[in-house]
Amino acid sequence: MRFMMLMIPLGYETAPPDVQLDPERVAAMMRYNEQLQDAGVLITLDGLHPPSMGARVSFATGEPLVTDGPFAEAKEVLGGYWMIEVASRAEAIAWAKKCPASANEVIEIRQVQEMTDFSPDVQEAAAGFAELQKGSRARR
Amino acid sequence: MRFMVIVKANRDTEAGQMPSTDMLAAMGKFNEEMAKAGVIEAGEGLHPTVKGARVKYASGAAGVTRGPFKLTSDLIAGFWLIKTASLDEAISWMKRAPFEPGAEIEIRQVFAVEDFGEALTPELREQEERTRAYAAKK
């Protein structure tokens, strides 16, 4: 089963565009990343720039409406994520507990949807998506 | 530049309601356009928070809370990773996404190795490259 571990650093919703990272924290996180890798559970991982550098597109009226960040109403935002392959949700939780996170951080664990989770109709409508991704990656 | 496009959860996604075949077909076409343009890296949907958990580190020890979580505009239902030359280009792609009224997405730039500056020492950079190379092989 694939899970996303969503890193939610409280306070990141108001971080400036040039947010500075603490080298010690980066090093501790890298050690954790390496543990995930050594255990063979890591698929991919990324960190995100603060929302003050981002944008939102809302389709509330059917027409796309663009708002530049930061987003006043956001109470929690994503700071980054890991995608892991484990046997169960409990195993995903066990990995999240090992993360050298700070007191202001929360990790949300969410199961990734697989084609086999859906009805045959849905699988047929979405057929070819995995191939598209592979093709696109190959061209990068 | 790489961007993560976060698709926000709503009552339907949290209820586990799956998109209609028409919606899937429209999204499939949109994904195909992005793939042909070499823009899309990845895209996934997430099961509702009822199947998820949160881990908090406030007390030093990790405390686990099981889902479901309160529905706010901060909850996530899925994401794309895309590669474009600018935020504006990412926005213009996403304006074409065939979402139904009420949908909202957030576009966030992904950190590249050079963004970390001196905090990422040569050793850490090497470790990062090793980790990614290994993960890419999976």
Is B134 inside any structural domain?
no
A66/chain B closest Cα distance in angstroms: 8
Whether B83 maps to a domain, the answer reads yes
**pTM for the full predicted model:** 0.87
Give the whole-angstrom CA distance, residue B128 versus residue A44.
11
Residue B132, domain member (yes or no): no
Q: Compare all CA atoms of chain B with the CA of A117 and give the residue at the minimum distance.
A: B47
Tracing tokens 């993560």 back to the chain, one arrives at: B4
Q: Which tokens in the block code for residue A15?
A: 């971080």
Domain count, chain B: 1
Q: B136 lies in a domain?
A: no
Asked, for residue B121, whether it belongs to a domain, the answer is no
Please indicate whether, in this complex, the C-beta atoms of B41 and A140 are within 8 angstroms of each other.
Answer: yes
In a domain, B12, yes or no: yes
B137 within domain boundaries: no
Asked whether the beta carbons of residue B43 and residue A43 sit closer than 8 angstroms, the reply is no
In angstroms, the CA A139 to CA A36 distance is 28
Contact at CB, A78 and B31, closer than 8 angstroms: no
| CATH code of residue B93 | 3.30.70.1060
Residues of chain B contacting residue A45, judged by C-beta atoms under 8 Å apart: 131, 135
CA neighbor of A81 nearest in space, from A118, A52, A110, A121: A110
Q: Which residues are CB-neighbours of B46 under 8 A, at least 6 positions away?
A: A4, A110, A111, A112, A113, B52, B76, B77, B78, B79
Where does the pLDDT of residue A140 fall: very low under 50, low under 70, confident under 90, or very high at 90 and above? very low
Structure confidence by residue, pLDDT tens digits, A61-114 = 889 999 999 999 999 999 999 999 999 999 999 999 999 999 999 999 999 999
Q: Measure Cα distances from A29 to A35, A73, A98, A104, B35 in Å.
A: 10, 29, 11, 15, 32
- Confidence grade of residue B117 (pLDDT, cut at 50, 70, 90): confident
Average pLDDT over residues A43-61: 95
In a domain? residue B130: no
| Res B68 pLDDT > 80 | yes
Contact of B114 with chain A, judged by CB distance below 8 Å, is answered with: no
| Residue range(s) defining the domain that contains residue B70 | 2-112
